[in-house]
Structure formats: structure tokens, C-alpha cells
Amino acid sequence: MCQPGSPRERLLDAAYTIVEDGDWEALRLAQVARSAGVSRQTAYNEFGNKIGLGRALVEREIDMLVGGVQERLDRHLDDLPAAVQSALGFVFAEARRRRLLRSIMGAGRYRDDDLVALATRGAEPMLAEVIAMFGSYADRTWPAVPADVRSVLVETLLRVTISHVVAPLHEPEAVARDLGALTRRLVAPADVCGT
């Protein structure tokens, strides 16, 4: 993790703005360095090349998403359906406003897929990390539900979330609310804390 205001953080911020506003293909490290107010050599020292910069940018986006999901789960330690609604609502809101995050989650469907292809293997590493986080949360708050049921539900909820990010059919707030309600209904009320 880099310090706020550090050359690395400024370079990532500049690259993020360029990618959000334009085209990854046209991006050059010298352009990012100029925009960040650091030397081109500093950019090369930090990232090595454009692929290294792209990888760091994608990793930062994933860390932001994972941290935000964890924060929302922690707010609802006694109510899994509320945690689902809050965490997935956060994912939808961030994906709606962050083009790079949509690109990562929809690998293969957006113009800047070259960034995702160069920097990571698409959504799978992020998905696995978020599934593990949700799974751990469900294990702690939902112990009466069989492990295989918890596992299928968690993975299904997250895959449905990505589907709604890639091809939204309804307002994100409504989808998050409906997925929280679905979670509540799929498990017997006695098995879910907060019901």
C-alpha cells in the first residue's frame, strides 16, 4: 500500500483519471508522469512499464472494492440479509461510477479490456477474494445453515451481482434490496440472525 501523496499514489491517481476519461491503449508512462507532476524516470522506477502500471491500477481498484465490501459486512454482524444488501449496494454504486471497475468486473465486454487482459486474469481473482470474504462472514453469522448451502448461496449472489453490473436490468438499489430479501427467504428464519 502506498502513502497518500507519495509519487506512486500520485502516479496511480493520474493513470486512473486518464483511463477513466480516455483510452488505455493511448496511455503512455511519460503522460502519466507529467500529469502526476513527477519525472518519467520515477514512473519507470515505480512500475517498470505500462503493464506494471496497469497491474497496480487494477490491484488498487480491487483492494478498494474488497475493503468497501468488508466494511459493509462488518456493519451488519448480526444480520446477513442486511449485510448482503449493504455490501452489494456498495458494489453496484461503485461499479456504476467507476469505469475501470466495470471493466474489471465485465472482462471481455468493455473497450478497455486490453488493460484487464494485460494486468490481470479478469474478474476471477477479485471474485474469489470477495467470495472468500462473504463466505467467512456467512460461516460466522449463519452457523446453523449447512456449509454447502452457504457456499452455493454466497457464490450465486456474487455471480448475480457481476451479471447485474455487466448487464443491468433494474436500478442497483432495487437489485441490492431484492438480493437481501432473497437471502432472508432462502434460509429458515430461525437460521438467520436478525430476523
Condensed to tens digits (0 to 9), the pLDDT of residues 3-39 reads 558 999 999 999 999 988 877 888 899 999 999 999 9
Q: Could you tell me the CATH number of the domain that includes residue 44?
A: 1.10.10.60
Domain co-membership, 145 together with 93: yes
The predicted-structure confidence for 41-71, as pLDDT tens digits, reads as follows 999 999 999 989 988 998 898 889 889 998 9
Domain co-membership, 3 together with 78: no
Domain co-membership, 93 together with 15: no
3-state secondary structure 78-95: CCHHHHHHHHHHHHHHHH
What pLDDT is attached to residue 116? 58
pTM: 0.81
Q: Residue 41 is part of which domain span?
A: 1-48
Q: How many domains does the chain have?
A: 2
Domain co-membership, 114 together with 34: no
Q: Which of 17-26, 77-86, 136-145, 185-194 has the lowest mean pLDDT?
A: 185-194
Q: How far apart are the C-alpha atoms of 94 and 33, rounded to whole Å?
A: 26
Domain co-membership, 42 together with 77: no
Domain co-membership, 168 together with 79: yes
| CA atoms within 13 Å, Cβ hemisphere of 165 | 30
Domain co-membership, 184 together with 108: yes
